[in-house]
Structure 1
Amino acid sequence: DGEDLYDEFGNYIGPDLASDDDDDDDEVEIGHRGGHGRPGDDGDDDFDEEEGDDDEAADAGVAGSSGLALGKGDEDSEMRVVLHEDKKYYPSAAEVYGPDVETLVQEEDAQPLTEPIIAPIRTKRVYFRERSDVPRTTFDWEFLTDLMDSPKLIRCLAVAGHLHHGKTCLLDCLVELTHPDVRATASDVADGRAELAFTHSLRVECERGLSVKCCPLSLLLPDSRGKSHLVNLMDTPGHPCFADEQAAAYRLCDAVLLVVCAAEGAMLGTERAIQQAMQHGLPLILCINKIDRLIIELKLPPADAYHRLRHLIDEINALVHTHAPTPELARPLTPLDGSVIFASSAFRFCFSLASFASLYKQKFAPRMDAGQFAERLWGDVYFDAKTRRFSRNPISAGGKSQQAQQRTFVQFCLEPVYKIFSTLVGDVETNVEAVCQELDVPISRSELKLNVRPLLRLVLRRFFSGWDPLVEAAVRHCPSPADAAAERVQRWYSGAENSDSDGGVCADMAACDPNGVLVIHATKLFPTPDASGFHVFGRVISGTLHAEQQVRVLGEQYTLADEEDSRTARVGRLWLLNAQYRVELSRVPAGNWVLIEGVDEPIAKTATITGADSACRRVLTYRPLQYNTASVVKVAVEPSLPSELPKMLDGLRKLSKSYPLLACRIEESGEHVIMGTGELYLDCALLDLRQLYADIEVKVADPVVAFAETVVETSSVKCFAETPNRRNKLTLIAEPLEKGIAEDIEAGGVSLSWPRKRVAEFFQHKYDWDLLAARSIWAFGPDASGPNVLVDDTLPSEVDKDLLATARDSIVQGFQWATREGPLCEEPVRNVKMKMLDALIAPEPVHRGGSQLIPTARRVAYSAFLMATPRLMEPYLFVEALTPADCVSAVYSVLARRRGHVTHDAPVPGSPLYVVKAFLPAIDSFGFETDLRTHTQGQAFCLSVFHHWQIVPGDPLDKSIVIRPLEPQPAVHLAREFMIKTRRRKGLSEDVAINKFFDDPMLLELAKQDVGLSGLA
């Protein structure tokens, strides 16, 4: 039998299996014992013991008290068979980690390798340099908050100027003056290797080295007499692409501190800052910064430096006179009245004529009248040291020629500064100590070992001792909130004309009354630190805002007749925003800036916030912001993953709130378009979209520009259209608008909210309109400040004026719809005047409803437009390039390849640089700055900004033009090319359809008059 246990190859195979009956008997026996049978079991005691152990373990596992396969909780319990799926070999996760821990098991790798299974916790940081604590200051915060109750001691200024002229660095000087710890911890700044840039809190600002957002700063600063004032300063971007931030800052300020570089002079950003200040009615204070460049870089003698400074002041005054709308704003700036100060933010000093006179009085002549001395420190005034008298003519006595005689400003102001620079830069070891003793500047032995730049900064800061001249200029030439309130209300409040019936709202705002009706003008939205929402920044015009107060938020479209654009909200916390840190407040009275939590939800761009009580029901809104530029560059965006479209839409809504002039829209083709002022503007916006607001990857199309549509002739025929019910008929013609009207409307020079007589006088006197046409203006389009005009030119003898008045609103809506999306490529219409010549209106109201008249008015406007020789318009940029003389020819050649042309080319006075001014089509401007720097080896620096609209050469409806792909088109084909490519991008057919804009009766009329419709499909 033993041989049967092995096969023929000697492999062990075991005994034969028992019969079926034996199996049944074994199962009964095994079931009786409560165990499991095994092949070949002989029923010995060892197996019984092992089986018993297994049974105990299995029963224990089923009961949940053990980790083995089988178990028995009790010897007397019923024996049972445990299925395979019920066996439990290991403890559960809940037993190992506890019931409070959630565990997830992923058996299949369903995620890409680039995405972690458990994503790390990421915290967004909007503000790269935000401080959680309030740093130590030289003033007491309790005293500052008490000073907020005294509007007469408050000043609100916007710091504006050209890019890199030292605005942020100027504010750093004030921060270091009032924040000792900030200066001490900035080691790079102390060594002169870098600037503090305290108002640069965003990462993009720190990386690019320029301001992108306006940033407020509230400081307690003393004047020369030691009297403290609460000075609110708003650092604004100098790049012209961010002019919208400048406009938002100007609306909250009472004056502008204009910072101009002494070496470069008035540049593009300087002129546009002056232009915007004049539009807002704000007085100017001129700060000529970087005078150290005249000494160190340009190496001008003191007399030449004086002529450079004088020429610069005359240049600024000429710009002020050019852009000032009233003689009061055209007040000349002069150092004699303290409206001009001189500074070097890099070396931390500033002075004025009065401060230098006080310095001489303190050190040399205590009995001297400093005021009279200061009046003789500017202009062609000379001092005779022998007679100790001043003269208007050069003095030749004493052996000096008249040419060698120095003016008093050179002798008493510039020469001491030059002497300090020349001594410290020259022989430091032997002369510094003697010069410091002569100037009465204390300096230690360890400080004498400093490098030249920090040593210069230290000596000059101690010699001029503070920034009193800047504070004096702000106190003297910037009106307080109480003094500027009345003019502010008259200029920006939409209900100023009806002040007699508003229940005293205008009176409270004009008096800056902290006990009056609560009104807050909010112009800026700052994102929260995690970018999940926004905090609202505004100015309290009247009343007092308290934390946790119930308020009403009024949007830009709010009116007393239509209160849809308003919402009730509860104010959260209140802060005083100081660039990198915030100070929490319990209340904010009138005349102050405030950062508000919890009311940002209904605000799109700007808002007016008022109280929720019945006394505030008559409050109207402040007018929307006015800009001196436009969003003409656009890109299309879409998420990399289509499932993330909701995230992108939410991010676009937040992005629109963060950038005042940014516009987001959806084309009919479904693409999402972002419109901005330039390449840098959109670059910063897209970076915020990716990293802050949407936190997704987006795909961006090639940039394009916005176009406009216009006409160059009067409509060849009277165009008419009937409503679908055949009960109404409108007749219109289109013609070009007189030059200058569109610009006046867009700049706010005329508004239909004026009394009808005032509007008529404006068009009569300035544009020679007849009285009937001037009094018959119905609307501007596509909005209240749009560059198109609708005129009612019907006669009472031919048209029922009463019936026409009932249909006016519907016709105006159709006209504004037509001018918002023109017939050529659905771009806005510009410079078009549409005259209504005839109107047949149904007498029954049911037959003249909006559903009948609005699309008909739009259609007849389109047909009149197409009959008036339509043309495309493209935006042109104004380019200003600063370049050495040997690179001017390269600037010309780069511009010529991009359809640009130079308008001005001149050297900068007192400098080896040239300024080249030119016009460049926006569609050819992409990459222009890089191209220019490549051709000039990085020596040319240019800035560009939207300037005007210009007609594209060629006929966009000329079907004989064949557009060949990947080939440049001649100039006369550009209009056709732009129209076709724009229509393709928007998902439209290549040509304008006749049946879409012309009714059949109109087509028959055109056929009778033999009017061609060339170019129309």
Structure 2
Amino acid sequence: MKYNTRNIGIIAHVDAGKTTLTERLLYYTGMIHKIGNVDEGNTTMDKDIQEKNRGITISSAAISTQWKKENQIYNINIIDTPGHIDFAVEVERSLRVLDGVIAVFCASSGVQPQTENVWFQAEKHGISRICFINKMDRIGADFFNVMREIEKKLSIIPLALQIPIGSEDDFEGVIDLISQKALYWTGENGEIIVEKEIPEHLKVEADEYRMKLMETLAEYDESFFELFMNSENLISNEVILETIKRVCQSQMIVPVLCGSAFKNKGVQPLLDAIVNYLPAPDQLSPVQAKNPETGENIELERNQEEIFSGLIFKVVIDKHMGKLAMLRIYSGKIKSGDTVQNVRTGENFRVSRILKMQSDKTQTVDEGRAGDIVALTGIKDAKTGDSLSSLEKPVLLESITIPTPVIRVSIEPKTNNDEKSFGLVLAKIQEEDPSLLVERDRQTGETLLSGLGELHLEVTLEKIRLNYGIEVNQGKPKVSYKEILTRTIIHREKLSKQNGGNGQFADITFEIGPRDDNEFGLEFINKIKGGVIPNEFIPSIEKGFREAMENGPLSGYPLESMKVTLLDGSTHSQDSAAYDFEIVARDGYRGASKMCKPKLMEPIMQVEIQSIEEYTGVITADINKRRGIITSIDERSGRKIFTAEVPLASTFGYISDLRTLTSGRASISMKLSHYALVPEFITNIVVT
């Protein structure tokens, strides 16, 4: 028997049925013997107490299972990701290490905002996708409408491999357009698939969609086009499957299947589609890496004969096993007892154990090979995004993008007894979730916790209470503002101190102001001529400005961007050192930035609200009250969809306020859109 691997993720909007679908995938592959349900809080993937209570997935769970098809065994690593935007970093780090995804859509809600966000994240990483239109038994289910939405909103060609037999309460099964058979599910939990002839009343529609399938493949695949045009040749199902695989992996087209995971219909064909159309790790192009010393590009073949390389995409602190580093192996292999290098720290360490994750259970294995997703124990100082490699040839893989926190609260333990352990717990949760930021307010001495949204912070504080038994007092949520300079000036700063022995001397003249290119961070231009400041001091000047940007001149919020051009300066033969130039840059920034007309920037959220017609007036009025701007009002399946841009400061408590305004008949989702200038009257309140 041949073993193949598929590393897949399941992505979707909140409540599209991802966790239910995963539960069915595990049941039919024999990984579990009893189906759990989200409503009953007994699913395999959601083991966290809060995940059970809230009915949502917070941290991406990993699990390995196997699917047998035509005497081949396929090893499928599944990562079930959160659908809520506040957990975007969980989605991002999962997508970074996957080769294929199943995008799950609700048949009545269609393409929702978070689906779009995650879809385009997957596209950015070049990941092949399959669509599964779930909840075909739900009121308002419309397979063909969701197909149109996928094409329009996600800018991709959907390829229906099945069409449903009925919908809502009348959903019975699916028509497989490749085998041209009707499929029905029986047995206690849909284990038995019954193949029948296509019902008479659906034959015309099935023929029409079969022809669409063939024409689309012919349009996007040259070799299939030739076969299709030479219609004397009957095209075999094997050729059709191979062609679908090619176009799916080229990412021009997405295969679409449908069913109802909750009603146990349509899941086994999805497992077949995963192994038929999504790529195995060795079918992908070579891994792009860099030499950490020289920065030159290196290509690594994705096989076990290549040198070892892997990326830590998640760190988990386990009660029994301590720190676990979740690792995607891209090339080569690793055995327990091997010594490998963390390229970021330059440290070598011995791998004590290699584990395969079975959700909350683990299985010890002797080795991990290219394409595997494993957990390692015994790795100190491991962080999300770290590259591990062999000692003989260290390689640096592309890291993971961590979004900037936009909201913060002041926190403290309720009792003094918890003071000591509180700091350790905060360090642990920050290790597990790099999108959280813990810092101390220099002025008030308060501990500040920053995250990606209200729910993100709420879940984190609940985690501290439930998992570590620490009750926490929290302040009101505050916005993480930024500052910007709006005027350019030239400034000279001089440091000259004598304190016995060698003194301190540094002198710089620089231009400081806003960037012209709308990029973030520091743009530093060195225009020093004639060596008036030695080259070895220049990086210290840049470092001084970069660090100083963390405190803006208005209220100490970080500066979003800045341009500094170093024009002139002077040194002292005995008294000048690199650190003096770092200090003079910081002092110069503090003196000059106040004269650059600094302004405050606030995060603007893109908000989507779904409701019914009768609440249009109150929702519109409420958005205006929150300084929001409505960008569009659409209609979908009889519901109004409002898209608006609203300042984050006005969104605190929005979810519960909206429920009250609409008697619970509206849903809302938010994501960070951009930062914008704060109106003068608000600045006067914030800057005190």
CA shift at 1:903, angstroms? 1.5
Measured at CA, do residues 859 and 345 of structure 1 come closer, stay the same or move farther in structure 2, by a change above 3 Å?
A: farther
The AA in structure 2 aligned to 1:655 is: I
Aligned partners of 2:623 and 2:646 also within 8 Å: yes
Aligned equivalents of 1:358 and 1:881: distance in 2?
38
2:466 to 681, 685, 691: 691
Q: Which string of whole-angstrom CA distances, capped at 9 and with x for unpartnered residues, describes residues 139-190 of structure 1?
A: xxxx8xx83xxxxx21111211111111111112211212386326x5xx5x
Does residue 1:333 correspond to 2:144, yes or no?
no
Aligned equivalents of 2:39 and 2:571: distance in 1?
78
Does residue 1:676 correspond to 2:451, yes or no?
yes
Does residue 1:851 correspond to 2:618, yes or no?
no
SS where residue 23 of structure 2 aligns? helix
For residues 618-629 of structure 1, what are the structure 2 equivalents within 5 Å? 618-627=393-402, 629=403
Aligned partners of 2:101 and 2:130 also within 8 Å: yes
Aligned equivalents of 1:655 and 1:567: distance in 2?
23
For residues 82-101 of structure 1, what are the structure 2 equivalents within 5 Å? none
Aligned partners of 1:710 and 1:736 also within 8 Å: yes
Aligned equivalents of 1:345 and 1:847: distance in 2?
82
Aligned equivalents of 2:180 and 2:58: distance in 1?
36
CA shift at 1:267, angstroms? 1.5
Measured at CA, do residues 359 and 937 of structure 1 come closer, stay the same or move farther in structure 2, by a change above 3 Å?
A: closer
CA shift at 1:675, angstroms? 0.7
Does residue 1:840 correspond to 2:569, yes or no?
yes
1:175 to 26, 32, 45: 26
Does residue 1:282 correspond to 2:54, yes or no?
no
CA shift at 1:602, angstroms? 0.9
For residues 478-557 of structure 1, what are the structure 2 equivalents within 5 Å? 478-484=278-284, 486=286, 488-490=287-289, 498-499=296-297, 506-507=298-299, 510-530=300-320, 533-554=322-343
Unaligned runs of 5+ residues in structure 2 are 185-193, 199-205, 217-227, 229-257, 498-503
Does residue 1:376 correspond to 2:211, yes or no?
yes
For residues 704-743 of structure 1, what are the structure 2 equivalents within 5 Å? 704-715=478-489, 718-725=490-497, 727-738=505-516, 740-742=518-520
State the match for 2:243 in structure 1.
Answer: none
For residues 388-407 of structure 1, what are the structure 2 equivalents within 5 Å? none
Aligned equivalents of 2:172 and 2:318: distance in 1?
33
Does residue 1:201 correspond to 2:81, yes or no?
no
SS where residue 917 of structure 1 aligns? strand
Aligned equivalents of 1:496 and 1:172: distance in 2?
47
For residues 499-648 of structure 1, what are the structure 2 equivalents within 5 Å? 499=297, 506-507=298-299, 510-530=300-320, 533-554=322-343, 558=344, 565-599=345-379, 601-611=380-390, 616-627=391-402, 629-648=403-422
TM-score (norm 1): 0.57
State the match for 1:63 in structure 2.
Answer: none
Larger radius of gyration: 1
For residues 28-177 of structure 1, what are the structure 2 equivalents within 5 Å? 147=3, 153-177=4-28
Aligned partners of 2:387 and 2:396 also within 8 Å: yes
Aligned equivalents of 2:134 and 2:153: distance in 1?
14
Aligned equivalents of 1:652 and 1:706: distance in 2?
19
CA shift at 1:355, angstroms? 5.1
The AA in structure 2 aligned to 1:542 is: S
Q: Which string of whole-angstrom CA distances, capped at 9 and with x for unpartnered residues, describes residues 407-435 of structure 1?
A: xxxxxxxxxx99xx9xxxxxxxxxxxxxx
1:260 to 83, 90, 105: 105
Aligned equivalents of 1:203 and 1:619: distance in 2?
40
Aligned equivalents of 1:475 and 1:676: distance in 2?
37
SS where residue 820 of structure 1 aligns? coil
CA shift at 1:803, angstroms? 3.7
CA shift at 1:212, angstroms? 0.2
Q: Which string of whole-angstrom CA distances, capped at 9 and with x for unpartnered residues, describes residues 414-463 of structure 1?
A: xxx99xx9xxxxxxxxxxxxxxxxxxxxxxxxxxxxxxx99xx47xx4xx
State the match for 2:436 in structure 1.
Answer: 662
Does residue 1:820 correspond to 2:550, yes or no?
yes
Aligned equivalents of 1:222 and 1:374: distance in 2?
29
Measured at CA, do residues 380 and 654 of structure 1 come closer, stay the same or move farther in structure 2, by a change above 3 Å?
A: same
1:975 to 670, 683, 686: 683
Aligned equivalents of 1:248 and 1:853: distance in 2?
38
Q: Between Structure 1 and Structure 2, which shows a larger proportion of helix residues?
A: 1
Aligned equivalents of 1:677 and 1:883: distance in 2?
25
CA shift at 1:262, angstroms? 2.2
Aligned equivalents of 1:341 and 1:832: distance in 2?
55
CA shift at 1:941, angstroms? 0.8
CA shift at 1:839, angstroms? 1.6
Aligned equivalents of 2:434 and 2:372: distance in 1?
22
Measured at CA, do residues 351 and 620 of structure 1 come closer, stay the same or move farther in structure 2, by a change above 3 Å?
A: farther
Q: Report sequence identity in percent.
A: 22
CA shift at 1:897, angstroms? 2.5
Aligned partners of 1:495 and 1:620 also within 8 Å: no
The AA in structure 2 aligned to 1:292 is: D
State the match for 1:701 in structure 2.
Answer: 475
State the match for 2:253 in structure 1.
Answer: none
Aligned partners of 1:286 and 1:341 also within 8 Å: no
CA shift at 1:705, angstroms? 1.4
The AA in structure 2 aligned to 1:882 is: Q
SS where residue 724 of structure 1 aligns? strand
SS where residue 977 of structure 1 aligns? helix
SS where residue 947 of structure 1 aligns? strand
Does residue 1:903 correspond to 2:619, yes or no?
no
Aligned equivalents of 2:107 and 2:635: distance in 1?
15
State the match for 1:771 in structure 2.
Answer: none
Aligned partners of 2:330 and 2:370 also within 8 Å: yes
1:888 to 605, 616, 620: 616
Aligned equivalents of 1:378 and 1:341: distance in 2?
11
1:653 to 427, 444, 463: 427
Aligned equivalents of 1:808 and 1:348: distance in 2?
72
State the match for 1:314 in structure 2.
Answer: 151
Q: Which string of whole-angstrom CA distances, capped at 9 and with x for unpartnered residues, describes residues 340-398 of structure 1?
A: 99799999977753254586997459xxxxx99974155999xxxxxxxx9xxxxxxxx
1:244 to 89, 96, 114: 89
Aligned partners of 2:340 and 2:350 also within 8 Å: yes
CA shift at 1:732, angstroms? 2.1
Measured at CA, do residues 226 and 335 of structure 1 come closer, stay the same or move farther in structure 2, by a change above 3 Å?
A: farther
CA shift at 1:257, angstroms? 1.8
CA shift at 1:494, angstroms? 6.2
Aligned partners of 2:506 and 2:572 also within 8 Å: no
Aligned partners of 2:41 and 2:55 also within 8 Å: no
Aligned partners of 2:111 and 2:146 also within 8 Å: no
The AA in structure 2 aligned to 1:932 is: L
Counting matched residue pairs gives 623
Unaligned runs of 5+ residues in structure 1 are 1-142, 148-152, 300-304, 319-331, 366-370, 382-389, 391-416, 422-452, 500-505, 559-564, 743-786, 955-971, 981-1017
Q: Which string of whole-angstrom CA distances, capped at 9 and with x for unpartnered residues, describes residues 655-674 of structure 1?
A: 10121311111222322111
Aligned partners of 2:335 and 2:366 also within 8 Å: yes
Measured at CA, do residues 348 and 162 of structure 1 come closer, stay the same or move farther in structure 2, by a change above 3 Å?
A: farther
Deviates more, 1:629-638 or 1:674-683: 629-638
SS where residue 657 of structure 1 aligns? helix
The AA in structure 2 aligned to 1:534 is: K
Measured at CA, do residues 788 and 942 of structure 1 come closer, stay the same or move farther in structure 2, by a change above 3 Å?
A: same
The AA in structure 2 aligned to 1:857 is: A
Which structure has more relative contact order (CA 8 Å, sep 6+)? It is 2
State the match for 2:524 in structure 1.
Answer: 790
